[in-house]
Amino acid sequence: MSAAEPAASGGQAGRDGFRLGAVVLTMGNRPVELNALLESVAKQRGPAVEVVVVGNGAPLPTLPEGVRTVELEENLGIPAGRNVGIEAFGKDGCDVDAVLFLDDDGLLPGDDTAEKLREAFTADAGLGIVSFRIADPETGTTQRRHVPRLRASDPLRSSVVTTFLGGASAVRSSVFTQAGQLPGEFFYAHEETDLAWRALDAGWSIEYRADIVLYHPATLPSRHAVYHRMVARNRVWLARRNLPALLVPAYLGTWILLTLVRRPSRAALRAWMGGFREGWRTPCGLRRPMRWRTVWRLTRLGRPPVI
């Protein structure tokens, strides 16, 4: 199916025929949380969601029967690890109709997540990606950074968006066929926006669904030691790979100013600047600039690709 093809047949039969798979990436250090997540996936109403757990450079703990496993000898990073999970469902995930990406310390609090996803994808043939709302299990609150739009003050409002949350999302398998998989060389940070821009350029839409929730403990992205370097390097790669040449300096100039306004520590700024230089000096992968029509589409959706 492509974004231009007609919607799947309606009704319960059409929804139940829509096959879902889930990829869970783990370092093997959260066995209790991982098994709780898998239990929440198994409790979903309707046809069973097939699950692949990828051990990213680490042995896997004991997992429930029926869960497929892949153990990688080394840590390939988040996007490349998830790509391995996609391929476990066949070329570009072709054995299922959509792939869920779920963080290993997340939890689906309701039993209707799969049902809502089937309904969403079968009702709209142009829908390529669904981004879930992430809520803290203790407080129920959603961090502003987990709402994938600029106007993020109301996390309970669903909307069409221009990016998505990698560990709480579902991607139609046809998106991978048309736009490619996640950029494995990114290792960590901005891989979702890279795929989102390519999906939008291929004609797909992306929705943030506030009613589809993943519980996840509130955390700060800067807890990762490589955060500042990866964020800066991958921001440059993102622009070099996807933006028309005229927009590359505008996009990166905006983010230089925003970074300085946020007044990072001296060590963080030094790491960020090192990553920024690395982004220019190292290969970014295949360059495939989006069409100006897509630039205008992003602008109309409230996120022009200069910020």
DSSP letter for each residue of 41-73: HHT-SSSPPEEEEEESSS------TT-EEEE-S
Render pLDDT for 165-213 as a digit per residue (tens, 0 to 9): 999 999 999 999 999 999 999 999 999 999 999 999 999 999 999 999 9
pLDDT at residue 307, rounded to an integer: 86
Asked if 264 and 115 sit in the same domain, the reply is no
Q: Which of 179, 183, 181 has its CA nearest to residue 191?
A: 183
* 44 inside domain: yes
pLDDT at residue 8, rounded to an integer: 44
> What residues does 160 pair with on adjacent strands?
207
Render pLDDT for 44-80 as a digit per residue (tens, 0 to 9): 999 999 999 999 999 999 999 999 999 999 999 999 9
* Arithmetic mean of pLDDT, 10-30: 90
Asked if 226 and 206 sit in the same domain, the reply is no
pLDDT at residue 2, rounded to an integer: 46
pLDDT at residue 7, rounded to an integer: 44
Distance between CA atoms of 111 and 273, rounded to whole angstroms? 45
Asked if 102 and 162 sit in the same domain, the reply is yes
* 178 inside domain: yes
Written as six digits, the tokens of 298 are: 């992003």
Render pLDDT for 250-265 as a digit per residue (tens, 0 to 9): 999 999 999 999 999 9
* 2 inside domain: no
Residue 226, pLDDT above cutoff 90: no
* 303 inside domain: no
Q: What angle do CA 59, 23, 17 make, to 5 degrees?
A: 140
* Arithmetic mean of pLDDT, 82-107: 98
What order do you get walking across the sheet with 159-161 strand by strand?
68-71, 50-55, 20-26, 98-103, 168-172, 127-135, 205-215, 159-161
Give the CATH number for residue 151: 3.90.550.10
* 137 inside domain: yes
Asked if 181 and 279 sit in the same domain, the reply is no
pLDDT at residue 9, rounded to an integer: 45
Residue 116, pLDDT above cutoff 90: yes
Asked if 65 and 77 sit in the same domain, the reply is yes
Examine the fold and report which residue of 219, 239, 255 is the final residue of a domain before the chain moves on.
Answer: 219
Q: Which of 45, 38, 21 has its CA nearest to residue 107?
A: 38
Asked if 197 and 82 sit in the same domain, the reply is yes
Structural domain boundaries, residue 103: 11-219
pLDDT at residue 225, rounded to an integer: 57
8 A C-beta contact, residue 94 and residue 88: no
Asked if 204 and 235 sit in the same domain, the reply is no
pLDDT at residue 157, rounded to an integer: 97
8 A C-beta contact, residue 125 and residue 220: no
* 3 inside domain: no
The secondary structure element, H or E, covering residue 196 is helix 191-201
Examine the fold and report which residue of 219, 242, 270 is the final residue of a domain before the chain moves on.
Answer: 219
Examine the fold and report which residue of 219, 251, 279 is the final residue of a domain before the chain moves on.
Answer: 219
Q: How many residues does the chain have?
A: 307
| Secondary structure of residue 133 in the 3-state scheme | strand
Asked if 155 and 270 sit in the same domain, the reply is no
Residue 103, pLDDT above cutoff 90: yes
* 274 inside domain: yes
* Arithmetic mean of pLDDT, 111-123: 98
Amino acid residing at 202: A
Asked if 192 and 117 sit in the same domain, the reply is yes
DSSP states of 216-265: -----GGGSTTHHHHHHHHHHHHHHHHS-GGGHHHHHHHHHHHHHHT---
Residue 221, pLDDT above cutoff 60: yes
* 56 inside domain: yes
Q: Considering its fold, how many domains does the chain have in total?
A: 2
Mean pLDDT of all residues belonging to the chain: 94
φ and ψ at residue 64, rounded to 5 degrees: -60, 150
Report the percent of the chain where pLDDT is more than 90: 91
Report the percent of the chain where pLDDT is more than 70: 94
8 A C-beta contact, residue 91 and residue 181: no
| Secondary structure of residue 285 in the 3-state scheme | coil
Asked if 132 and 245 sit in the same domain, the reply is no
Distance between CA atoms of 243 and 287, rounded to whole angstroms? 9
Asked if 79 and 164 sit in the same domain, the reply is yes
Asked if 57 and 91 sit in the same domain, the reply is yes
Q: What angle do CA 84, 125, 151 make, to 5 degrees?
A: 80
Q: Which residues of 221-238 are buried (b: 16+ CB within 10 A; e: fewer)?
A: eeeeeebbbbbbbbbbbb
